[in-house]
Amino acid sequence: MSTSNSSQYASRFHQGQGFYSFSLGNLTVTSVSDGFLVFDDPQAALAPKADSQEFDTILRKKFLSSDTAYTHINTLLIEGNGKKVLIDNGCGDSLGPSAGLLVKHLANAGVKASEIDIVLVSHAHPDHIFGTITRTGEHVFPNAHYMISKEEWDFWTDPNIKISSPFGDEMARAAILGAQRHLKAIEDRVSFFDSEQEIMPGIRAIRAFGHTPGMMAFIITSNRKRLIYTADALHHFVVTLARPDWELGVDNDPVEAIVTRMRLLEKITSVEAPLVHVPHFPFPGIGHIREEHAGYVWEPVVWEW
Task: Considering only the stretches 50-58, 112-120, 122-130, 267-275, report the one whose residues sit in contact with Zn ion under the rule CB under 5 A.
Answer: 122-130
CB-wise, 85 or 250, nearer to Zn ion?
A: 250
Question: Shortest approach of Zn ion to residue 14 CB, angstroms?
Answer: 26
List the one residue out of 155, 171, 125 whose CA is nearest residue 279. Answer: 125
DSSP label of 50: S
Contacts of 269 (CB under 8 A, 6+ apart): 289, 290, 291, 296
Q: Which stretch binds Zn ion (CB under 5 A): 28-36, 85-93, 120-128, 195-203?
A: 120-128
From 23-31, 162-170, 224-232, 284-292, span contacting Zn ion (CB under 5 A): 224-232
CB of 127 to Zn ion, least distance (A): 4
Tell me the closest approach of the beta carbon of residue 40 to Zn ion, in angstroms: 17
Q: Which stretch binds Zn ion (CB under 5 A): 41-49, 89-97, 119-127, 212-220?
A: 119-127
What value, to the nearest 5°, has the Cα angle with vertex 28 and ends 23 and 30? 95
* Separation in Å, CA 63 to CA 42, 44, 52, 169: 15, 20, 16, 32
Return the closest-CA partner of residue 74 out of 259, 234, 253, 256. Answer: 234
- For 249: left if phi > 0, alpha if psi spans -120 to 50, otherwise beta; the answer is alpha
Comparison of 34 and 151: residue with beta carbon closer to Zn ion? 34
Q: Which is nearer to Zn ion, 27 or 77 (by Cβ)?
A: 77
CA distance 109 to 269: 31
Residue 232 is a binding residue for Zn ion (CB under 5 A): yes
Q: Which is nearer to Zn ion, 236 or 243 (CB)?
A: 236
Among 103-111, 171-179, 202-210, 230-238, the segment contacting Zn ion (CB under 5 A): 230-238
Please name which of 266, 219, 169 lies closest in space to residue 29, comparing C-alpha atoms.
219
Nearer to Zn ion, 27 or 233 (CB): 233
Which one, 127 or 151, has the nearer CB to Zn ion?
Answer: 127
Separation of alpha carbons 255 and 249, rounded Å = 11
How many residues at the interface with Zn ion, by CB under 5 A? 2
Q: Is 88 in the site for Zn ion (CB under 5 A)?
A: no
Q: How far is the CB of 130 from Zn ion (least distance, A)?
A: 11
- The answer to whether 127 contacts Zn ion (rule: CB under 5 A) is yes
Residue 256 CB, nearest distance to Zn ion (Å)?
17
SS3 state at 85: strand
Give helix 150-157 / helix 169-185 axis angle, nearest 10°: 120
Footprint of Zn ion on this chain (CB under 5 A)? 127, 232
